Amino acid sequence: MYVTAAVISAIAAIAAFFARGSDSSPRVSISNGTVIGTSSDGVDTFLGIPYAQPPTDSLRLKRPQALSHTFGTIQATSIPRACPPLKVRADPQMLSQIPPEIAGHLATYFQEPTFIGEDCLTLNVQRPASVTPNSKLPVLVWIYGGGFEQGSTQQYDFARLVNTSIALEHPIIVVQMNWRVSAFGFLGGKELQQDGSTNLGLRDQRFALQWIAENIEAFGGDPSRVSIWGESGGSMSVFDHTMINGGDHTYNGKPLFRGAILNSGAVGPALPVDAAVAQKTYDTIVDTAGCSSSTDTLACLRDLPYEAFLNASNVTPNMFNQDGVAVAFTPRPDPSDNFFPVSPDEVLVSSPPKVAPVPILAGTMEDEGTLFALALYRAPTKDALIDIIHGIAPTCPRSTFERLFSFYPDEPSHGSPFGTGEANELYPGYKRNAAIAGDLCFAFQHRLLLEAVSDIIPTWSYLSTYGRQTPLIGTFHGADVALLATGFIDPLYRAMVQYIVSFVHHLDPNVISKMDGGARGLPEWPRYGKKNKDMMQFTDQGLQIGKDDFRQEAFNYFSSQISQMRW
C-alpha cells in the first residue's frame, strides 16, 4: 500500500500525543522509570533526570555508581540541584578597578547557583516537541565551563538552539549533565590516588555519556550520532574525552560520540595527581576540616557533615583572585589508572596522537585573557608577572618564562583587548598581562591541538572578535556563551548555530550552507591545516576568513616548552 508523507506525519503526531499522556505533558519511559517533562514553544524539556547514585555519605569522593533501583515516575520539571562549587571570593581591590558598567558583564562569573548540594548527578534533555522514539535525531551534549571550580546546568537553557535547529530543517536534541566540580570532583593527592578516586568530575561526565548511549533513543535521539561540546573547562573536558583510555571512546563496543566542539579550551597541561601542588591542596583541606590527626584522613573527609566539608574546601583561592590563578581543582594525570594517565599535552607529541578519531570544530575568543588579568594588578612589570606564574609552575625554570614573555611588548597598543591602540590600559601592564594569559591558557593550547591532529582528523578553527569595543575586556572569555544565551548579535548567532547544527548532523559545518543551491548563504568554512592555518572569524563586520598565525614566534617557543609548563 502506498503511504503518503502526510499520512506518515499524522501517524508520528498521534504517536507523539500518546507519548505525552492525557495531560499533554511529554513523558518518556527508560530503564529506571518514567520521566515527565514540560513543553513550551515547540520544545520539550526534561530537568534533573538522575544518571547515577547520589555521591553522598560513603560515596562522597568516590567514582559514580549506577542507579541501584528504579525511581518510578518523576516530574522532571524543577530546576535541578547544582554540584557544590568553590565559593567565588573576588579580590575587592580587583573589583574596585572596574567601572560599574563592566562589572555588570562579569555578574554571571560571581553568581552562585540558587540550589546546590551533593545529590547532584542529574542531566537535562531538550528536544523538538514533535519527536517520537523513532525520530533518531542527532544529539549534542553540552559540558559547562567554570574552571572545574564552578558551573551547573542551571545556567543554560537550550530551547532557543533547539528551535533554531528546527527552523534550519535539521532538528537536534540537546543534553547537558551536572558533574562534580571543586574539591568534590577534582581533589588530588596520594590518598585519592591510592583509593582509585581521582578525576571524579571527568568520570561523572563519562558516566553521563554512557547513560545517553543507553537511554537517549527513548527520547527520539540516535546514540550513534552524538557530538560533545563544551566551553572553557567544559571545552578542556571535551578534549580530555578524546584521550581518555588511550583514545578509546567506545562503550559496549560502540562510540560514545562521533564529533567534538571546543569553545575556549583545549589541552590543559597538568602535573600528576600526587604532585606537591595537588597534595598541598588536599593537606590544607584535611587540616581545615580537623582531620589531620585521623589515621585515615580520606575516610574522615567522607564522614564529615556536608557543610563542614564544603566549608573546608572553600579555603582554596578561586580563579578570580591572584592567588587562585593556579587553579587548584583540575583534571590531573593519574599514572596508576589508564582512565587519565598522562598530561594532555603529552598525548599530542605521540605519532600519531592517541586521540579518538573524531572531527573537531574548535575556536577561541580574541581576548581570552582580559578577565583573568583583572586579578593580576599586582604585576605591573614582566618580572612581577614571571614571579607569579613561576610560583604557579615551580617545576619549570624561571628562564623559560623570561624567554616566553620577552615576545610580548610592554606597549599597550600590542596588548589585549587587541586592536584598541593605547586604550583600555586598566593598570600599568594590564594589556600585556591579558595577552600573555590569553595565549598561554587558551589561544596557544587551541593551536597546539589543531596542529597536532589536523593531518589525521578533519578540523575547523575559528576566532571571535565581535564586541571588540567593550571597554577593558573586549571579546572576553565567555562572550560566545553570552551570544548563544541571548541570540545577540542576531546575524552572528544564526551563523554560528547553523555551522554547529551542520556539524552535528553531517560532521561538516558547511553542508547546510550548500543546500538549496547555496541559498542558506554562509561562506565556506575552510578546513584547518598545519600549513594553511585557515580559520573562520566572527567579527562585528560579519564573517571573514583569516589565519591562525598571530604571535607565531611566541607560539613556537611555547610549543617547544609546554611539557615544562605544567601546574
**End-to-end Cα, the chain, rounded Å:** 67
Helices and strands of the chain, counted as H and E runs: 21, 16
Q: Which of 232, 313, 343, 461 is catalytic?
A: 232
68 has catalytic annotation: no
CA–CA dist 95, 103 (Å, integer):
8
Q: How far apart are CA 19 and CA 38, in angstroms?
A: 13
Q: How far apart are CA 528 and CA 459, in angstroms?
A: 6
Number of alpha carbons in the 13 Å side-chain half-sphere of residue 350? 13
Give the CA angle between residues 52, 48, 164 to the nearest 5°. Answer: 120
Nearest-CA neighbor of 76 among 34, 35, 43?
35
What is the rounded CA–CA span in Å between residue 372 and residue 301? Answer: 31
Q: Taking a C-beta distance cutoff of 8 angstroms, is the pair 61, 282 a contact?
A: no
From residue 27, alpha-carbon distances to 18, 20, 24, 43, 259 in Å are 9, 5, 9, 13, 29
* Closest among 310, 271, 88, 320 to 183, alpha carbons compared: 310
- Cell matching residue 49: 533526570
Query: Apex CA 290: angle with CA 286 and CA 292, to 5°?
Result: 55
Contact (CB, 8 A) for 172 and 137: yes
Torsion of CA 511, 517, 522, 526, to 10 degrees: 50
Cβ neighbours of residue 293 closer than 8 Å, sequence gap 6 or more = none
Closest-CA residue to 146 (of 125, 172, 176, 118): 176
For residue 318, give the DSSP letter.
-
Q: Phi first, then psi: what are they for 122, rounded to 5°? A: -130, 165
Q: Residues 35, 74: contact at Cβ < 8 Å?
A: yes
Q: Is 529 exposed, middle or buried (0-12, 13-18, 19+ CB in 10 A)?
A: middle
Euclidean distance between CA atoms 143 and 18, whole angstroms: 32
- Which residues form the catalytic set? 232
